[in-house]
Amino acid sequence: MRSVAWPRKARIALSLVFLIFTGVIFLDPARWIPVTWINVITWPQFAPSFLKFLVTGIWAASGFLLFVILTVLFGRIYCSTVCPLGTLQDIISRIRRRILRQKPLRYARPQNMLRYIILIIVIISIIAGSALLVNFLDPYSNFGRIMANLFRPVVLTANNTLAGILEKQDIFWLPRTPWKSYQLASLGFAAAFLILVTWMSAVSGRLYCNTVCPVGALLSLFSRISLFRISLDKQLCNSCGQCSKVCKAQCIDVKSREVDYSRCVACFNCITACPSSGVVYGIAKFRINNGKKKFEAAENGHRRTLLKALMVGTAFLSTKTFATRLTGGEKPTSIPEERSQVSSPPGSEGHDHFNKNCTACHLCVSACPTHVLQPSFLEYGVQGLMQPYMDYHSGFCNFECTVCGDICPTGAILPLAGEHKKRVQLGVAVFIKENCVVYTDETDCGACSEHCPTKAVDMVPYKDGLTIPEVNDKICIGCGACEYACPTRPFRAIFVEGNQLHIMADEPQQEEIILEDTGEDFPF
Amino acid sequence: MKRREFILKGVSAGLVTGTSLSIGGLTGLASVLPAQSTYDLVAVRDGEPDVMFDRAIASLGGMAKYVKKGQKVVVKPNIGWDVSPERAGNTNPKLVGRIIRHCFDAGASEVYVFDNTCDAWKLCYKNSGIEKAVKDAGGKIVPGNTENYYQTVQIPKGKRLKEARVHELILNSDVFINVPVLKHHSSASISLAMKNLMGVVWDRRYWHRNDLHQCIADFVTWRKPTLNVIDGYRVMLRNGPRGVSEADVVLMKQLIVSADIVAADAAATMVFGSKPEDIPHIRIANDMKLGTMDLTRLNINRIKI
């Protein structure tokens, strides 16, 4: 009898579509992908949509629910198709086994204790108001960080090289995009995580998904009772073990001809591999002993150390050194900017809401047109590790732009209407007169006021016809344009003190201009 | 180093060819035009931006006087801000489009447009309406958002500004048309033609840090634009250079065109309602003999539509 290949092929095709689309939104060098597409692409991602549902309560945001239902019906197809990290691991696993011709997989016992303890801790942490563990363990967010921190620089380098080549031919449609996100903490974490899943998947297929991943553990509870499932036909199966060798989840025990549905990710490799059509995917027969199989309590053993290895990534120190290049023999400034807290992005409502709901996938970091959003290290404290913050030395928040809120998949940054966004105060500018060029050099500058979109930083008379900045904190929105533009180094003469809780700034008051008629057509 | 030398030589060679050609071109034009144009500056008012430019350039002898067949032209408007044309933070897109068409009519091989913007550059290009205007007119809109586009030049006659990193288009083009918008400016009092040149360099912070007005004048010693076209159609009278709302803007319908950058700035300053000698960088440039702010010494054509 011929083996059936189409379910596996369909699964591979679908998973590649999800992998490519999800990857591309992080790699897009020139923001070609429209916001609505990004939202469609991230909608089915489990952990982000779950958090977004908790935040907004909007059913339309509940992509995760669809996959709970689909898991009950068809098994963990989220894990085999939608999850980009799952597909990434499949590719790694395939490279090792097919191209490097390493030994095939074999059945392994489940690590139930470990995975369910992790799941319980993650759920408790979410209830307790911390996104930190989801941040560390969620497959989508980790995939996002791998893309944004490791692959994006490669793509941008290629993009900028190509742009340079095209420019030589007088073609300018491809713009260069500078790379500014080199925060070592998130880069190191992403690299460590990639190494970890590479190793885990190379050795044992979907080991991460079935021992560490909280999404995998949660869905396993539903796939245990799934309607459609893999089973070994007792008549046709001759226990040759071919299915077990290609089972990424290592969940087919050919000796007992039992499949651990909780770990099965519905990849359908086994159906294709079976030479005797003994692997069947169909509606579960109601057999009493199926549900309560004798899954031995997991021996935790050395695999727990994997979790420790994961945590090692956080030990990387951020070496954020601000550009302190001095030019032209100018006097360095002496008074440090004493910022007690950073600003969280507009729409995040403040540190508390943001820290509770951001899983640090870095989608906003990739999409931010001014690069003001940068991964943090300890700027928010440990609970906000790697979550993006407003880095006003890297850029400033474009007044009209609402992209981060428009695309945030978790609801950590909520969408803001344009006019509303222009009044949301993330922080307040603080002027250090003693650092200011006008004070130290007695020459005009005004770079801060020039960039200010509300004229909260205005130039007022100083002396000898000079003007000096003055801050109106009522209308300041903390966009950081002043801080970004300020030319003094190493310390700037103006900086933004973050607001713990965002508030609404006053609207700038505008009087009408009345022009006098001079009675002449030209003044010269 | 070698590349820079090559480009600099290329520019000077281009300028020499341009000059020799323009003499031939002028004699040809003189027979066509009813009156020989000897104006130093043209001021037009009360028309649409494109119509005012048509009148101004005709009275100067046509674009052919400045752009020769096959030459590459760079048009540098102000595209600094992510604001709509009504906010007058950027040069009027209609004016930019019309200038490009005149350049092509005069035989330009390519017309490039760029700015080193302050707000996010893609949004500035798009929302200013300039990207579309440039494309519609057949020009090329070029990014200026990364340092790679800029090359170091020496400014030997500069007092404070001794070198700058300049966009390669300025170095590689034969003709440089500077198209600022007339507006209030919190740093430089008024933003005009000389101030607009801050958008062709990479490191503006150095200028702010090292006597802004002197640096603005110093840069003009390195290169003067072929032509300066100051857009005074909508004028931001306060809260410049970005503006807070449309309440900062009045409709003035003015246009100043001159090859003398200091004279153009002086005239526009008076339109704005200030005195040129009160604007430090205009005064400095006048004293450094980069042009004249004394408009009584110039032959001015005043056109009211």
Between residues A217 and A102, the one the model is more confident about: A217
The verdict on a CB contact (< 8 Å) between B267 and A441 is no
Mutate to test the interface with A, among B210, B235, B299, B303 (most CBs of A within 10 A): B210
Determine what percent of chain A is predicted with pLDDT higher than 70.
90
Residue B277 has pLDDT above 90, yes or no: yes
Residue A144's pLDDT is 97
Helix axes B261-272, B280-287, angle to 10 degrees: 150
CB-based contact A327 B248, cutoff 8 Å: no
Return the SS3 of A29. coil
The pLDDT value given to residue B37: 64
**A455 vs B236: CA distance, rounded Å:** 14
Question: What's the confidence (pLDDT) of residue A518?
Answer: 74
Tell me if B43 and A164 make a contact (CB, 8 A cut-off): no
Give the tokens for residue B44: 């037009």
Q: Quick check: B282 pLDDT over 90?
A: yes
Number of folded domains in chain B? 1
Report how many Cβ contacts below 8 Å link chain A to chain B. Answer: 141
Best of A327, A445, A459 to disrupt the B interface (most B CBs within 10 Å) is A445
Q: Mutate which of A172, A326, A438, A444 to test chain B, going by most B C-beta atoms within 10 A?
A: A444
Total of domains in chain A: 2
Query: Hey, which residues 10-39 in chain B have their CB within 8 Å of chain A?
Result: none
Residue with tokens 């390195």: B222
Q: Cβ A437–B248 below 8 Å, yes or no? A: no
Closest CA to A387 of A350, A424, A427, A340: A350
**Crossing angle of helices B49-59 and B93-105, rounded to 10°:** 40
Residue B107 contacts A where some CB pair is shorter than 8 Å: no
Q: Dihedral of the CA atoms A67, A68, A71, A73 (nearest 10)?
A: -100
Q: Which residues contact B6 (CB under 8 A, 6 or more apart)?
A: none
What pLDDT is recorded for position A285?
Answer: 60
Secondary element (H or E) of residue A407: helix A403-407
- List the single best residue of A324, A455, A517 to mutate versus B (max B Cβ within 10 A): A455
CATH number for the domain that contains residue B250: 3.40.50.11440
Pick from A444, A508, A513: which is nearest to B188 by CB? A444
Chain A contact for B3 (CB, 8 A cutoff) = no
Answer yes or no: do A114 and A11 share one domain: yes
In this predicted structure, the answer to whether residue A277 has a pLDDT above a threshold of 90 is no
Q: Which chain A positions have a beta carbon within 8 Å of B183's beta carbon?
A: none
Tell me the residue ranges of DSSP E strands in B157-273: 163-167, 175-179, 181-185, 189-191, 227-236, 249-258
CA–CA distance, A80 with A82 (Å, rounded to integer): 7
- The percent of residues in chain B predicted with pLDDT above 70, rounded, is 88
β-strand pairing of A228-232 with A252-253: unpaired
| Yes or no, beta carbons of A513 and B142 under 8 Å apart | no
Whether residue B238 and residue A513 make contact (CB cut-off 8 A), yes or no, is: yes
B139 → chain A, closest CA residue: A172
Cβ count near B201 (within 10 Å): 23
Q: Do A451 and B242 touch (CB under 8 A)?
A: yes
pLDDT tens-digit profile of A112-152? Answer: 999 999 999 999 999 999 999 999 999 999 999 999 999 99
A287 has a pLDDT exceeding 90: no
Q: In chain A, which residues have their Cβ closer than 8 Å to the Cβ of B213?
A: 443-444
Domain annotation covers residue A301: no
Last residue of a domain, one of A290, A315, A330: A290
Residues of A in contact with B212 (CB under 8 A): 443-446
Identity of the residue numbered A220: S
User: In the numeric block, which tokens belong to residue A303?
Assistant: 């695999």
Name the residue facing A447 among B82, B187, B295 (closest C-beta).
Answer: B187
- Residue A223 pLDDT class (50, 70, 90 cuts): very high
pLDDT digits (tens, 9 = 90+) for A79-93: 999 999 999 999 999
Question: How close, in Å, is residue A329 to chain B by CA atoms?
Answer: 10
Q: Are A398 and A476 within one domain?
A: yes
Same domain, A11 and A131: yes
Distance from CA of A60 to the nearest CA of B (A): 30
**A311 within a domain of the structure (yes/no):** no
Q: pLDDT (tens digit, 9 = 90+) per residue, B23-64?
A: 333 333 433 444 456 899 999 999 999 999 999 999 999 999
pLDDT of residue A280: 87
Tell which phi-psi region holds residue B182, choosing left (phi > 0), alpha (psi between -120 and 50) or beta: beta
pLDDT at A2: 52
Inter-chain contact B213–A443, Cβ cutoff 8 Å? yes
Based on the fold, state whether residues A285 and A422 are members of the same structural domain.
no
CA distances for A411 relative to A57, A347, A359, A406, B2, angstroms? 10, 9, 10, 10, 53
* B258 contact A CB<8A: no
On whether residue A137 sits in a domain, the answer given is: yes
Pairwise CA distance, residues B207 & B202, whole Å = 11
Chain B residues near residue A403 by CB distance under 8 angstroms: none
Q: Mean pLDDT throughout A26-38?
A: 94
- For B245, the closest of A467, A487, A510 (CB atoms) is A510
> A224 and A78 in one domain?
yes
Domain stop point among A290, A316, A341: A290
Residue B242, min C-alpha distance to chain A (Å):
7
Using a CB-CB distance cutoff of 8 angstroms, which residues of chain A are in contact with residue B250? Answer: 513, 515
Q: How confident is the model at residue A62 (pLDDT cuts 50, 70, 90)?
A: confident
B81, with CB counted inside 10 A (0-12, 13-18, 19+), is buried
Instruction: For residue B180, say if its preceding peptide bond is cis, omega within 30 degrees of 0.
Output: no
Same domain, A15 and A103: yes
Q: Position of tokens 């072929």? A: B226
Question: Which residues from chain B sit within 8 angstroms of residue A441, using beta carbons?
Answer: 209-211
One domain for residues A270 and A355:
no
Q: How confident is the model at residue B187 (pLDDT cuts 50, 70, 90)?
A: confident
pLDDT (mean) for A98-107: 81
The reply to whether A318 falls in a domain is no
Note the Cα A385 to chain centre separation in Å: 12
Whether residue A303 is predicted with pLDDT greater than 80 in this model: the reply is: no
**Domain closes at, from A248, A270, A290:** A290
A195 with A268, same domain: the answer is: yes
Phi-psi category of A29—alpha, beta or left, where left has phi over 0 and alpha has psi -120 to 50? alpha
Distance from CA of A389 to the nearest CA of B (A): 18
CB-CB contact of A19 with A282 (8 Å): no
Tell me the mean pLDDT in the region A248-254: 93
Asked whether residue A376 carries a pLDDT value surpassing 60, the answer given is: yes
Locate tokens 């190494």: which residue? A195
Say whether both A360 and A461 belong to one domain: yes
Q: Which domain holds residue A82?
A: 6-290
Average pLDDT over residues B117-124: 96
Which residue range is the domain that position B213 belongs to?
A: 2-304
Confidence of residue A181 (pLDDT cuts 50, 70, 90): low
**What CA–CA distance (Å, rounded) separates B136 from B113?**
13
Chain B residues whose beta carbon lies within 8 Å of the beta carbon of residue A510:
244-245, 247-248
Of A330, A401, A455, which has the smallest distance from its Cβ to B123's Cβ? A401
Binary contact (B239, A455; C-beta < 8 A)? yes
Over residues A389-405, mean pLDDT: 96
